[in-house]
Amino acid sequence: MDNNYMVSITEAIELVHTHTHVSAPTRKLLLNALDLFLAKDVFSPINMPPFNQSAMDGYAVLYDDNHQNNFILVDEIKAGDNNNRTLQAGQAVRIFTGAPTPTNANAVIMQENTSVKNNILLIDDVLTPNKNIRLTGEQIKQNETALRKGEKLNPAAIGFLATLGITTVDIYKKPTFTIVVTGNELAEAGTSLEFGQIYESNAIMLQAALLKKGIDNITILKVKDNYNATKDSLQKAILQSDFVLISGGISVGDYDFVGKALLELNTQQHFYKIKQKPGKPLFYGTNGNANIFALPGNPASALTCYYIYIETALQKFIGNPNYKKQTVRLTLQNEYIKKGIRGEFLKAKVTGKEVEILGSQSSAMLNTFANANALIYLEEGVGTISKNQIVTTYIID
């Protein structure tokens, strides 16, 4: 492992995108595919609507030059009726929204513009061809493309496919995750702290971030600072998961065993260390089908790396074809004195078209992150930024 060379933030994002593979397609029930991406084009098996359909409650008529204002009522058709009748010129039927119009009806008149006397329909409206009639295949015709590969199945898309009688779709599957937490100093929340211990928070924090994205197949492994235990846990995680997130142990201290264990397990390193603050000691590699991110142990650093790099990999894996972390250009509310030349991500709060840099930017502190909804991005070489300056801002959600 080269401990000296550092990639830029742009290079790191590109390497993650390049080396993350799209997941294998799988067939799912329509409702179970919510918020996932189509792995194949979907074609309509029917015309929609499948018959000429009334767009409102009223009267379907067959008008011509000799029949414009009054018609003889001959029938009634409700939604769901299997009444495939025809009309003669000058005839009309009472009809309701969604019902099939007579085969040759050429207008539907809303009931508010009509009156009926002695079975004669009188209308006060302008007649135009196919007025208030949803024509067969008007929304989509049989065998036309309903949704294309790469489309996200939001509630409207699922409803649309259901109207076509579709019950299953081919989607890119959601990934499995294993979060490996290392560190002798870590105690579990709910237990008493001994001197020298701190509560472990990265696992539940990362789990919560993944759950928010709909990822629920998550395993947590906790490992003491022991080389063999670290290697065994990592091997297990690599074999069982699409993504392995490792919290801590990636630095070069005497008890940081993650890097050595990963290379011993024949992990291909794509980068180790990024010219950024916070989150400099970030490792990304692949091993078989597993994407491996070894995160800094400091909580704010780990979460920053999650938003910028892990979400990039996750979105490519689930087949999001055009994913790019959303950025906006906003007016800065306060000055910030930047130290060093590395790129920097600053916890921030967006309000309207303005953004404020929050306090406590330490990589070990989450108190400010808890109130943040954005990360201001300062490129390499950028120095002090002034109030009212326009800054690039990542929206985090």
All structural domains of the chain: 9-23+174-317 (3.40.980.10), 26-47+139-172 (3.90.105.10), 53-134 (2.170.190.11), 327-395 (2.40.340.10)
Q: Is the pLDDT of residue 255 over 70?
A: no
Q: What token pair was written down for 352?
A: 């309207």
What confidence score (pLDDT) does residue 130 get? 98
Whether the ω angle into residue 50 lies within 30 degrees of 0, i.e. cis, is no
Q: Residue 108's beta-bridge partner residues?
A: 60
Query: Could you tell me the pLDDT band of residue 382, with boundaries at 50, 70 and 90?
Result: confident
Task: Render the burial of 82-121: b for 16+ CB within 10 Å, e for the rest.
Answer: eeebebeebbbbbbbeebbbbeebbbbbbeeebeeeeeeb
What confidence score (pLDDT) does residue 364 get? 86
Q: Is the pLDDT of residue 2 over 70?
A: no
Phi, psi for residue 295 in degrees, rounded to 5: -95, 155
Q: Is the pLDDT of residue 187 over 90?
A: no
Query: Mean of the pLDDT values across residues 38-58?
Result: 98
Return the CA Rg of the chain: 31
Q: Is the pLDDT of residue 238 over 60?
A: yes
d(CA 311, CA 299): 17
DSSP letter, residue 57:
S
Q: What is the pTM of this model?
A: 0.88
pLDDT in tens, 112-165: 999 999 999 999 999 999 999 999 999 999 999 999 999 999 999 999 999 999
Sign of CA dihedral 341, 343, 346, 350: positive
The residue to which tokens 């007579």 are assigned: 102
Q: Is the pLDDT of residue 389 over 70?
A: yes
pLDDT in tens, 65-122: 999 999 999 999 999 999 899 999 999 999 999 999 999 999 999 999 999 999 999 9
